[in-house]
């Protein structure tokens, strides 16, 4: 089954993950909205969980993570990734990757080229992913 573009968006993934964690912890949507102290309304939370929001605000995601007692990266990681790596749970790198969505296509291509060049350099020097 192919995923729709909406289902591929990070906002959709985040919303579904928030809903799953919230329900697992026995927290209702109205209660979560209340615990957010007006930062995010019930209606906005509903839209995030049920329809996904293309670019949910990072401060809201961070507050929701805090209220639910999970890490920020737990909410934004992509569980469909086949490779689980400590790099993917690095909060600073995760935030930078998430914020890269605001870059132009040309700038994203440059970032990808830099990452590929660094990877090739490490391979040619016989280094793995550890601190080099």
Q: How far apart are CA 9 and CA 53, in angstroms?
A: 8
Q: Which residue pairs, CB below 8 angstroms and at least 24 apart, start in 74-81? A: 74/17, 74/21, 75/14, 75/17, 75/18, 75/21, 76/10, 76/13, 76/14, 78/10, 78/13, 79/13, 79/17
Residues 22 and 32 sit within 8 Å (Cβ to Cβ): yes
pLDDT greater than 70 at residue 115: yes
pLDDT greater than 70 at residue 130: no
pLDDT greater than 70 at residue 81: no
Residue 82: the pLDDT is 34
């Amino acid at each position: 089954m192919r995923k729709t573009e909406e289902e591929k968006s990070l906002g959709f993934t985040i919303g579904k993950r928030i809903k799953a964690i919230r329900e697992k912890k026995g927290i209702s949507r109205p209660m979560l909205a209340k615990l957010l102290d007006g930062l995010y309304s019930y209606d906005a939370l509903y839209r995030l969980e049920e329809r996904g929001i293309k670019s949910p605000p990072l401060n809201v995601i961070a507050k929701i993570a805090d209220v639910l007692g999970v890490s920020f990266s737990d909410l934004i990681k992509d569980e469909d990734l086949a490779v689980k790596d400590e790099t993917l749970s690095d909060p600073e790198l995760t935030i930078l990757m998430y914020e890269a969505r605001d870059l132009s296509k040309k700038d994203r291509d440059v970032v990808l080229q830099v990452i590929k060049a660094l990877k090739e350099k490490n391979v040619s020097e016989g280094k793995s992913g550890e601190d080099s």
